[in-house]
């Protein structure tokens, strides 16, 4: 499972689009996103469970998860829908 999560983090960060306002003001934040993926890699749902005080951070973090395509589960993983929680860093230093 840890190996799969290790694949998810960079994929989500790669999908991240930092809002211009955050970038211009040099602001950043972190939001924890919880989401469920099927064994085929299909995103079933996603929500913010630990928000940033900055709503732009929360929107960008959620969009990065929702916009991503995820790979099928690895062979040794349980072949059932699985819930993940990942911290998404959003800010002027992010891509």
Query: Which element (helix H / strand E) includes 64?
Result: helix 55-66
- CA dist 5 → 10, 41, 55, 56 (Å): 9, 12, 25, 25
Query: Chain-wide mean pLDDT for the chain?
Result: 92
**Segments of the chain with pLDDT less than 50:** none
State the pLDDT at residue 2: 85
Output the pLDDT for position 59.
95
What does the pLDDT look like over 1-12, one tens digit per residue? Answer: 789 999 999 999
Burial (0-12, 13-18, 19+ Cβ within 10 Å), 75: exposed
pLDDT of 1 reads 76
Q: What is the model's pTM? A: 0.90
């Amino acid at each position: 499972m840890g190996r799969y999560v290790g694949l998810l983090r960079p994929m989500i960060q790669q999908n991240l689009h930092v809002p211009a306002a955050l970038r211009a003001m040099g602001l950043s934040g972190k939001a924890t996103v919880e989401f469920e993926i099927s064994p085929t890699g299909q995103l079933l749902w996603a929500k913010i469970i630990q928000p940033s005080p900055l709503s732009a951070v929360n929107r960008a973090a959620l969009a990065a998860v929702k916009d991503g395509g995820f790979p099928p589960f690895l062979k040794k993983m349980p072949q059932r829908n699985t819930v993940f929680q990942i911290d998404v860093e959003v800010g002027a230093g992010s891509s």
